[in-house]
Amino acid sequence: MTVETLRWRNNQLEMIDQRCLPSVVQYLSYSDAQTVADGIQKMVVRGAPAIGVAAAYGIALEAQKYVLLNGADFHKRMAQAFKVLAASRPTAVNLFWALNRMRDRLSDAAQMETVSLARLLLDEAHAIYHEDIEINKTMGAFGASILEDGMCVLTHCNAGALATAGHGTALGVIRSAVTAGKKITVFADETRPFLQGARLTAWELSEDGIDTTLITDNMSGHFMKSGAIDAVIVGTDRVAANGDVANKIGTYMVAVLAKEHDIPFYVACPLSTIDLSIPSGDDIPIEERSSNEVTGYGDVRWAPKNIQVRNPSFDVTPARLVTALITEKGIVYSPSDNKLKALY
């Protein structure tokens, strides 16, 4: 996969504008925390691990911008940058995980010169970026071992290279299985309302030459019932301590259908997406996005003016519907409090 979701060029962060894909491939440049936070909020970059990586670079950029300030003013600016980035999106815990890691790095070295701090923070952001790709490849190898040659896998939303620094989580498993020589076909849910499946998953898988069929979200039950689907693999934005999984709206519906049809439901989940501080999925904050995402798309409007709209961007799948979490530490069948704690 040659697409770069984020890249560091000429001391700036460049992010592929995911709102324009697949029709237009263009990169936007970012030079401070506020603009990176806007990019996250407006979905230039999306997907839990990619949001975390972008936020880490947002902190590194802010440090670079204010490197000539005295120590006290520099630290004030940095505290503000952490706040702005933390407010960009609420559900994906990778955002807070990456910000905590950057904050720890900063406070461990707080006495250093600002120039050294800026260098240190940039190194940490680069480390988060590179580790994400390595983790995805490790998860991919574990996940590929449970996919059999000839399987058809359903996925929902985009948990691919575009949702991470590279390779992907759920799509990383599929990529790794294909690379290992297995013939895997994919059904991609369109993923209303923001169409991450139709625009992003369908694009990145077909760019890779992986046999992909696009369906609308309301077709998955039909295909499960008719025996076309052998397994479901999705990504996640936050997993609670008891194994409940938050992911893109519609995932819960897919999990219920998978249970009904005795189809395994796998969740590809780096450890940075597990939030042991939250006992169950009921405590996961669910982002509610603009009604415009439901009443139309782009410049096209199809719903009546002033209609009431709800637009929760995520839902929670209870742990009992999850066959296994695929992590970089291995596969966790029937996730539970004790099994998740044991991963750390």
Options 15, 157, 255, 316; binder of ligand MRU; rule CB under 6 A: 157
∠ CA 296-300-301, rounded to 5°:
50
> With contact defined as beta carbons under 8 Å apart, do 138 and 268 qualify?
no
Is 196 near ligand MRU (CB under 6 A)?
Answer: yes
Is 144 near ligand MRU (CB under 6 A)?
Answer: no
Q: Give least dist CB 45 to ligand MRU, A.
A: 8
Q: Give least dist CB 64 to ligand MRU, A.
A: 26
Q: Give least dist CB 310 to ligand MRU, A.
A: 16
Is 272 near ligand MRU (CB under 6 A)?
Answer: no
Is 163 near ligand MRU (CB under 6 A)?
Answer: yes
Strand order in 152-155's β-sheet?
A: 212-215, 185-189, 152-155, 231-234, 265-268, 324-327, 330-333
Three-state secondary-structure class, residue 238: strand
Options 39, 193, 235, 281; binder of ligand MRU; rule CB under 6 A: 235
Whole-angstrom Cα distance, residue 332 to residue 49?
20
Options 2-10, 121-129, 230-238, 258-266: segment touching ligand MRU (CB under 6 A):
230-238
Phi and psi based region of residue 157 (left: phi greater than 0; alpha: psi -120 to 50; beta: remaining) = left
Q: Which is nearer to ligand MRU, 157 or 263 (CB)?
A: 157
Is 155 near ligand MRU (CB under 6 A)?
Answer: no
* AA identity, residue 122: L
* 284: number of Cβ within 10 Å: 21
> With contact defined as beta carbons under 8 Å apart, do 244 and 264 qualify?
no
Q: Give least dist CB 255 to ligand MRU, A.
A: 13
Is 237 near ligand MRU (CB under 6 A)?
Answer: yes
Which secondary-structure segment (H or E) carries 13?
A: strand 12-16
Is 5 near ligand MRU (CB under 6 A)?
Answer: no
Options 159, 188, 232, 316; binder of ligand MRU; rule CB under 6 A: 159
Is 49 near ligand MRU (CB under 6 A)?
Answer: yes
Options 42-50, 61-69, 182-190, 204-212: segment touching ligand MRU (CB under 6 A):
42-50
Whole-angstrom Cα distance, residue 170 to residue 254?
15
> What character string, x for contact with ligand MRU (CB under 6 A) and - otherwise, covers 310-329?
---x----------------
Partnered with residue 295 across adjacent β-strands are: none
Is 143 near ligand MRU (CB under 6 A)?
Answer: no
* 87: number of Cβ within 10 Å: 12
Active-site annotation, residues: 237
How far is the CA of 255 from the CAs of 47, 265, 316, in angstroms?
A: 20, 6, 10
Is 101 near ligand MRU (CB under 6 A)?
Answer: no
**What are the backbone angles phi and psi of residue 88, rounded to the nearest 5°?**
-70, -45
Is 164 near ligand MRU (CB under 6 A)?
Answer: yes
Partnered with residue 240 across adjacent β-strands are: 275
Q: Which is nearer to ligand MRU, 3 or 112 (CB)?
A: 3
Three-state secondary-structure class, residue 35: helix
Q: Give least dist CB 10 to ligand MRU, A.
A: 27
The closest alpha carbon to 5, from 38, 31, 27, 36, belongs to: 27
Options 47-55, 121-129, 208-216, 296-304: segment touching ligand MRU (CB under 6 A):
47-55
Kindly state the tokens that stand for 61: 């950029």
Provide the binding-site residues for ligand MRU, judged by CB under 6 A: 46-49, 92, 157, 159, 163-164, 169, 196, 234-237, 247-248, 313
